[in-house]
């Protein structure tokens, strides 16, 4: 059974700092991995999707990497801004028609 | 990008009543939709997967007679919480599958906050 872990549960950083959010998964045989952002009381916004054959994906100030063999993914946020404050969820899909398995998320607070 | 909407965004109902939540894909057709439940500071838990025109597949531990799912068209799925109880109070999120060559993404609705009094 796939399990996804995100540690720490919460993180507070000053504005402008570069930061890394970690995600680990127990079964390295994955189809893809997706990072989401969730604002309080809202749904999920997809940030980046990495296929199993890829090592990283970039979108603006965000960069996600994937190391299947070690069961890890990282989301790198450059030059953090208060508007980046949200919960960031990592989710893994084991097969093309498999369900997404979510971590509990990391709640990020960027202080002005 | 693909947009998924949910209605209502929040609802309060009395214990014992039923409440229906709608999930719509606005600019694409969704052959598969998913219903999730999220408790505060917890991860999303998949409740069921619905395919257009067929019965939903429920996850283990989810009561199919309590959480009725209907996926009548390629753009609409509904979740009906029957005989709601306070423990059903939660944040319900739907998601729709978007299939594109070489990729497989899900887009999520904004969620529905259900409070049962």
Rounded to 5 degrees, φ, ψ at A7 are -135, 135
Task: Give the pLDDT of residue B99.
Answer: 59
Residue range A4-61, pLDDT digits in tens:
999 999 999 999 999 999 999 999 999 999 999 999 989 999 999 999 999 999 999 9
Looking at the DSSP bridge assignments, the partners of residue A23 are: A73
Task: Give the pLDDT of residue A21.
Answer: 98
Residue A20 CB-density burial (10 A; 0-12 exposed, 13-18 middle, 19+ buried): exposed
Residue range A75-96, pLDDT digits in tens:
999 999 999 999 999 999 998 8
Does A11 lie at the interface with B, CB-CB under 8 angstroms? Answer: no
Residue B111 region by backbone torsions, left for phi larger than 0, else alpha for psi between -120 and 50, else beta? left
Residue B93 CB contacts under 8 Å (≥ 6 apart), including other chains: A43, A44, B6, B35, B36, B37, B38, B44, B108, B109, B110, B111, B112
pLDDT tens by residue, chain B, 117 residues: 689 999 999 999 999 999 999 999 998 888 789 999 998 888 899 999 998 878 899 999 999 999 999 988 888 999 999 999 999 999 999 999 875 555 567 889 999 999 999
Select from B58, B75, B6, B89 the least CA-distant residue to A43. B6
Does B28 lie at the interface with A, CB-CB under 8 angstroms? Answer: no
CA separation for the pair B51, B35 (Å, rounded): 11
Determine the distance in angstroms separating the CA of A19 from the nearest CA of chain B, rounded to an integer.
21
What sign does the dihedral B27-B33-B39-B44 (CA atoms) show? Answer: negative
Task: Give the pLDDT of residue A2.
Answer: 93
Determine the distance in angstroms separating the CA of B71 from the nearest CA of chain A, rounded to an integer.
18
Select from B97, B96, B80 the least CA-distant residue to B88. B80
Contacting residues of A for B7, CB less than 8 Å apart: none
Report B:31-90 residues touching A (Cβ under 8 A). Answer: 34, 41-44, 46, 49
Dig out the tokens for B115 from the structure.
């409070």
Determine the distance in angstroms separating the CA of B58 from the nearest CA of chain A, rounded to an integer.
12
Task: Give the pLDDT of residue B100.
Answer: 59
Residue B11 CB-density burial (10 A; 0-12 exposed, 13-18 middle, 19+ buried): middle
Contacting residues of A for B103, CB less than 8 Å apart: 32, 49, 51
């Amino acid at each position: 059974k796939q399990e996804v872990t995100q540690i720490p549960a919460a993180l507070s950083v000053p504005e402008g700092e570069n930061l890394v959010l970690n995600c680990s998964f127990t079964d390295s045989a994955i189809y893809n991995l997706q990072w989401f952002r969730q604002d309080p009381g809202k749904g999920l916004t997809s940030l980046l999707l990495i296929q199993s054959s890829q090592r990283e994906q970039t979108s603006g100030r965000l960069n996600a990497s994937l190391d299947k063999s070690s069961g890890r993914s990282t989301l790198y946020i450059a030059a953090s801004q208060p508007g980046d404050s949200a919960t960031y969820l990592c989710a893994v899909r084991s097969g093309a028609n498999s369900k997404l398995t979510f971590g509990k998320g990391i709640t990020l607070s960027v202080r002005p | 990008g693909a947009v998924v909407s949910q209605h209502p965004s929040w609802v309060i109902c009395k214990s014992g009543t039923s409440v229906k939540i709608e999930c719509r894909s606005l600019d694409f057709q969704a052959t598969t939709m998913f219903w999730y439940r999220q408790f505060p500071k917890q991860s999303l838990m998949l409740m069921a997967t619905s395919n257009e025109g067929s019965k939903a597949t429920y996850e283990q531990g989810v009561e199919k007679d309590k959480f009725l799912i209907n996926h009548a068209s390629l753009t609409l799925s509904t979740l009906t919480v029957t005989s709601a109880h306070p423990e059903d109070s939660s944040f319900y999120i739907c998601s729709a599958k978007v299939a594109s060559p070489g990729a497989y993404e899900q887009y999520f609705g904004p969620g529905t906050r259900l409070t049962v009094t």
